[in-house]
Structure 1
Amino acid sequence: MRHAIVVNIGDQLEVITNGRYKSVMHRVLTRPEENRMSIASFYNPGADAVIFPAPALVTAESGSGGRQTYPKFVFEDYMNLYVRHKFEAKEPRFEAMKSAIATA
């Protein structure tokens, strides 16, 4: 997208919105004949922040059928899992968080 500003939301916003907004796999295809500029900014909560779907978005009207789609987790635990599975699909990370929480 020429002259565009692209904002990729992260996994935490996907969880907070109970899947209403989706984080995306970020990959870039460059054109060798053109210049490209990227500026990355990352905003993360504190390591001890508890991330979970907003209760107002876990309702029948939200499209989730009134169920919480994502587990509640501590941000640092998620980041530890993320660095081990960084270049894999995100869905298994969410499933791994559910499993880790269930066995804790």
Structure 2
Amino acid sequence: MVESVKMDFLRRACRISRMQHIRNEEIRQRTRRIYTSTDNIESRQLLWYGHVKRMGGERRPKRAMEYRPQSRRKRGRPTTTWLDGVDQYMRDRAINQEEWYI
């Protein structure tokens, strides 16, 4: 959703209609916007992850990130957590978890 709104804004700024069938990559090159909004969000999440991992063990953000509930989850599809997303971003970028926050 965010990405489509941003691309709509860039198209309007360049005065390019959707009817002209110009790809989003070309519009990003014309406006010198190399990274997508999703890329920016992922990199910020990785920066926050490294920041929290370097915190002391008594800090609340670190305790909240490392908390593992003892109760069982409900039946059905497992819920995706924020840390699952961060792990996926690191795998996509071939980043080792131990090397990231040192």
Flag the structure with larger Rg. Answer: 2
Same fold (TM over 0.5): no
Structure-1-length-normalised TM-score: 0.23
Q: Which has the higher helix share?
A: 2
* TM, length-normalised to structure 2: 0.23
